[in-house]
Amino acid sequence: MLCGRICASVCRRSRGPVARQEVGATPIAKAIAAVLAVKSGSPGLLIKREYLSEAERIFEMTRSIYPAGQFRYRSELHLDRRA
């Protein structure tokens, strides 16, 4: 879980955003469709993520594409009772 340790380290020292994420629909390009075994141009979900340094400079980027029906998102929200 190397990413977890790196992200935790950045989070502890950061004053600004640690990551930016963008999620949206996209048609799947021919080369990617071949790897995913889906039809070129079929609907997909694109997730772009940028990890930021303390100076808010991007040090890592990820781009993930999921065919329709093969992605699930779950989040858990916690109330900060200290406020």
Round the average pLDDT of the chain to a whole number and report it: 85
- Count the Cβ atoms, other than its own, within 10 Å of residue 61: 10
Distance CA 10, CA 17 (A): 10
The string of pLDDT tens digits covering residues 40-78 is 999 999 999 999 888 888 999 999 999 998 888 888 888
Domain assignments of the chain as residue spans, ordered by start: 2-67
pLDDT surpasses 80 at 34: yes
Give the CATH number of domain 2-67.
Answer: 3.40.1410.10
Q: Is 62 helix (H, G, I), strand (E, B) or coil?
A: strand
Q: What is the pLDDT of residue 3?
A: 56
